[in-house]
Amino acid sequence: MRHIWILIIFVALLPVTPAQIGTDHVFVYVDINAPGPGTGTETDPFVTIAAAMAYVIPHDYVFVRPGVYQEVVDLPYFIFLRSTDGADVTTIDATGLPGTHAVTIGTLGEVTGFTIKKDDGAGLLAQSTGPFEFGRVIRRNRVLDCPNGGIHMSGPIHPIMDVNVVAGCGNFGIRSENGASPYMSCNTVTECTIGLEGVGAPPDAQAFFANSIFWGNTTDVSGFAPAGLISCDVGDGTFVGVNNSFNADPMWRNPVARDYRLVPGSPCIDATDPFYVLSSTEFDNRGYGAWRKMDGDFDGNVDADVGALEYGGFESWQSGTGVGSVLNLEVETGPGTAWFLAYGPYNLVPEIPLPIAGSSHFLLWIDSQQLTLLANGTQPASGMTTLSFAITSPALVGLRLPAQALGVDWTGPTYHFTHANVVSVQ
């Protein structure tokens, strides 16, 4: 029965085209850095999310470009709110503003890819008082430093909630209250008084709480029996061995800096129950290009990792800002995978030959317009390699650069795969 309900939700939330909807809108854009006030088009976006919310009609998709949006967001009926570049660079901060929560989903709708903050309140509320409702999606968000709680689900709802990070959120990280029955997978919750809290009427039999990390909270899980969780890493030892849950340091890269990426040897790598990894989740908490499934333990089996961030693959970060900073692209690979890195189009001319298994080969960063080599390095057959590019011109600052990591897997029947991302130069 669980399969049937999940399929219904995913079909209802598939991307749509104007021809399918038959309305005037469908795609609405927001950019705080635009001149404003805007009309909501791609070339003339609104400058606030509130302006978009006042304009939209059901089934509209609202795409929010990078920036800090100091406002409270109350989603109208059946609106899909998504950031274009992910939570790293797109923040909703309701600190000091009226209301109890930064973001509210009161009816059907979606919130994907934001950092959500309210230093004097709570993060995100999804609620209903009517009969059971489906069609809420809470995905790839980072809810941080909300003293009255992180993500609060209340009432007879069946939200999809996956690949979120909740940290430093006071009373609770995630609360399921009054029969809220989420399909919850691959979340990371830490630094809260209670990591996962069940209150009031329990979830129904269709709900699941799976493949998530509840670690470093005062109380990691409250209101759930051990059998209520599946393949989770829980600081509370009473969950060990029940439904494949375990109790072990997740081995985050730098938790003090809130870098919850996994490092080699983490017990969370490839440790999910694949039945409960939502099939619509392609990417981890970093968004587009960070694939949800990597062979992180190099055993030849491709499985997702427990928690919101996948180990391995392609990552990017910037050291400093502006002219004089350094943009870094990184790939981590195992003995069965060879990679090269490029900045530019997929169809490079002339064609770059694929590497030979077990050999060293060049990493390339190629300008998409001039097709000229900007930087290179050599990557061994296994291990981590970083390609760095100095930001020497003011013209590069503010650009959104397409970057790619292309790989060849030699562990079985050879196949090629590509990780892509859009790197925003700060």
271 and 357 co-located in one domain: no
Q: What is the pLDDT of residue 13?
A: 34
Q: For residue range 55-80, list pLDDT tens digits in order.
A: 999 999 999 999 999 999 999 999 99
Q: Is residue 184 part of a domain?
A: yes
How many domains is the chain partitioned into structurally?
Answer: 2
> Does 376 lie in the same domain as 266?
no
Same domain, 266 and 332: no
- Here the CATH number for the domain that contains residue 116 is 2.160.20
Residue ranges making up the domain that contains 229: 2-276
**Same domain as 194, residue 101:** yes
Of the three residues 221, 252, 276, the one that is the final residue of a domain is 276
What pLDDT score does 130 carry? 74
H-helix segments, 56-207: none
Q: Are residues 252 and 379 in the same domain?
A: no
Share above pLDDT 90 across residues of the chain, in percent, rounded to a whole number = 55
Q: How far apart (Å, rounded) are the C-alpha atoms in residues 207 and 193?
A: 24
Residues 269 and 338 in one domain: no
48 shares a domain with 155: yes
Q: pLDDT for 142-181, tens place per residue?
A: 999 999 999 999 999 999 999 999 999 999 999 999 999 9
Q: What is the percentage of the chain residues whose pLDDT exceeds 70?
A: 72
Residue 202 lies in a domain: yes
Residues 91, 97, 99, CA angle at the centre, nearest 5°?
A: 100
Query: What is the CATH classification number for the domain harbouring 327?
Result: 2.60.40
pLDDT band at 8, cuts 50/70/90?
Answer: very low
Backbone phi and psi for residue 67, each to the nearest 5 degrees, phi listed first: 150, 175
Read off the pLDDT of each residue in 33-54 and give the average, rounded to a whole number.
Answer: 96
Tell me if 294 is assigned to some domain: no
Do 204 and 181 form a contact (C-beta atoms < 8 A)?
Answer: yes
In tens, the pLDDT along 199-219 reads 999 999 999 999 999 999 999
What distance in Å separates the CA atoms of residue 338 and residue 334, rounded to the nearest whole number? 8
Q: Are residues 243 and 327 in the same domain?
A: no
Query: Do residues 330 and 258 both lie within one domain?
Result: no
Q: Tell me what the mean pLDDT of segment 225-238 comes to.
A: 95
Contacts of 272 (CB under 8 A, 6+ apart): 185, 186, 210, 211, 231, 303, 304, 305, 306
Confidence at 395, pLDDT banded by 50, 70, 90: confident
Looking at the fold, whether 328 and 257 belong to one and the same domain comes out as no
Whether 299 is in a domain gets the answer no
- Asked which of 43-52, 294-303, 366-375 is least confident by mean pLDDT, the reply is 366-375
Evaluate whether residue 72 is within a structural domain: yes
Please state whether the predicted TM-score (pTM) of the whole model is above 0.75: yes
Contact (CB, 8 A) for 87 and 81: no
